[in-house]
Amino acid sequence: MGAKAGIKPVRLPTRLDRYPAKMVSKLADRLIERYALGARSVLDPFCGSGAILVAAGHLGIPLCGIDINPLAELYCRVKLQGFDPHTSRSLAQTCIEQAKRTKHVLPVRWDGKHYWFTPGTIRKFEHLRFAGKALRLSDSPEGMAVLLSYALAVRLCSRADQRSPKPFVSKQAKRSRQGRHFDPYRTILMLLDELCKLYGGRTGNSRFQFVLADIPNASSSVLRLGKQSHVITSPPYLNAQDYFRNFKLELHLLEDVLPFQVESLRERFIGTERGDLLGGVPKETLNSNLRAVPELKVLQRRSLRLAAVVHRYLHDMGLAFDVVKECLDPDGCFVLVCGDNLVAGLRIRTWYALERLLQERGFQLFDRFADPILDRLLPPKRCGHKGLIKQELVSAFRLLHPEKQN
């Protein structure tokens, strides 16, 4: 059975949802109420920890989330599928007991692990990795809840400063955490107990699907899901979040437990500054970007590398919009949440550049409003950050019938 209309799902509190740049629930609710009350289906192609999907879930709408990040899948499945608390606690206890008894480990293949974790902590995580994989935790909703608890324990048991979305070892963290041993066994059970209270025993949305995919290159995967009536999303921000860095602790410790490889993700997060940024970007796309974002000419003189970040971002978003267009109904609704960015001191109107990409693909704007971040009671404390965002614009489009596009 799907979620019952009128019953709002519980949301993970911030301490259990450290997903950076996530949409606040207040805005997600507003978008669903304004645009999707009569939706046949809702797709979020950059779903992250699932704010849009959770907001739509209480209406009983069929839902689909897509994201490249395996951690996003853990969040979304636990939030939207529900799980049996007794079975989940039993699985966690079994996993921990096996980890304590076994001499085997599933090593973390990362040279930086001893910088972030004490030898005793990383050893326990490696025993847990072996036991978790042997128990095939990813095969059930209850196991996914255990894996989310494991992933949430990673940062808590590290040397990283606990205040920041990006992991770093600050002076304060050195004073308060250096030399301390943090026990993942106890931490996982504590976190799972909180998840059980929030989501245990709840009836999940049986009409929810998740696709772990790189949306610009996911056409065949997405099309298997069928046509969608509504797409509502907040895409990755240009040069504002280094998504891989934000998640590197969790990803390195989830690698091999879940079926993914870190090296396959490092340079694939949209908005990255890593890798060969202009590789595969056609010259005509570069010229089109210069027309859409005049500031790029100035940026190219200041920093060729940062200019390449912008070019790559717009190229990837164009490919993503091509996939969205394929899976959206004619006359379907596409709602985009985006703001400005500061790159090398230049204000980049990212929302405007993305609007142009959509209009070139036959989308017609029919509504827009601004959502100041200060109104959310979440003033950003990113003084001097090159990607500072002060407000977001919500832009709503209709996909015109092909005959109307000519």
CATH number for the domain harbouring residue 326: 3.40.50.150
Decide if 281 is inside a domain: yes
Q: What are the pLDDT digits (tens) for 270-311?
A: 988 888 999 999 999 999 999 999 999 999 999 999 999 999
Q: Are 119 and 267 found together in one domain? A: no
pLDDT of 1 > 60? The answer is no
Rounded to whole angstroms, the Cα distance separating 288 from 162 reads: 42
What is the predicted pLDDT for the residue at 207? 86
Pairing of strands 341-343, 346-348: antiparallel
Decide if 342 is inside a domain: yes
What is the predicted pLDDT for the residue at 14? 64
- Residues 183-197 as b/e (b if ≥16 CB within 10 A, e otherwise) read ebbebbbebbebbbe
Q: How many domains does the chain have?
A: 2
Q: What are the pLDDT digits (tens) for 111-141?
A: 999 999 999 999 999 999 999 999 999 999 9
Which residues are CB-contacts of 237 (< 8 A; sequence separation ≥ 6)? 21, 271, 338, 339, 341, 350, 387, 389
Q: Are 225 and 367 found together in one domain? A: yes
pLDDT of 377 > 70? The answer is no
What is the predicted pLDDT for the residue at 384? 41
Q: Which structural domain range is residue 190 located in? A: 85-199
Q: Are 310 and 333 found together in one domain? A: yes
Rounded to whole angstroms, the Cα distance separating 43 from 361 reads: 18
Task: Tell which of 184, 199, 214 closes a domain.
Answer: 199
